[in-house]
Amino acid sequence: MRRPLSGAVIAALLILFVVSGLMAGALTRLVITSPSIILVGRGAPSPTPRTSVASPTATQAPSQVTGQFILNISVTPKSAAPGQTMQVVVVATRDDGQTPVAGLLCSLQADSHFGPPLLTQWPSPVTTDATGRAAWTLTVPNSAPGTYTIGDYAKGIGWSYRGYIAVIIT
């Protein structure tokens, strides 16, 4: 016949469960708030690899913006044929998602972690205006139909943010 577990063993198991739950929560928060792996946008990146020239903006100097911010990237249209244009807009806001961040130098660049990049040569960085907006017009390259990515990046003082969005070449 088995002996029931003592109160000390039960307490130790409960403490172990509590600590593991707290650690899981802390790890989840770390993953979610890490600027190097934040995902913005949705899409199904193509598994086909594509060579890209490294972005010259990867080492851009930080803007004189302090504090945390987020970037929201959008593309219109999200699907286009080679030779057509796409309007890419990045809006920088504080963590509340409402307060615009002006004067932030934003760049578009390769983000091959989530699929092949749309371009091999990226446009120059753009500084956000008073509404937190930076915009580019891109011409869709003559590439095979599929899903490609556009990465966005900005670096302030003590904080940076990187994201991506998927686009489709038809």
Closest CA to 35 of 167, 151, 123: 151
Closest CA to 94 of 105, 102, 106, 82: 102
pLDDT band at 111 (very low <50, low <70, confident <90, very high): confident
Question: Could you tell me what percent of the chain has a pLDDT over 90?
Answer: 52
CA dist list (Å): 60 to 35, 68, 71, 101, 109:
16, 18, 16, 18, 11
All structural domains of the chain with their residue ranges: 1-33, 56-169
- Range of 5-9, 54-58, 119-123 with top mean pLDDT: 119-123
The 10s digit of each residue's pLDDT in 121-162 is 999 999 999 999 999 999 999 999 999 999 999 999 889 999
Q: What is the pLDDT of residue 3?
A: 80
Output the CA torsion 139→140→142→144 (10° steps): 170
Q: What is the pLDDT of residue 59?
A: 47
Q: What is the pLDDT of residue 46?
A: 31
pLDDT band at 60 (very low <50, low <70, confident <90, very high): low
Give CA–CA dist 152/168, Å, rounded: 17
CATH number of the 56-169 domain: 2.60.40.1930
Which has the higher per-residue pLDDT, 39 or 124?
124
Kindly report whether the global pTM for this prediction surpasses the value 0.85.
no
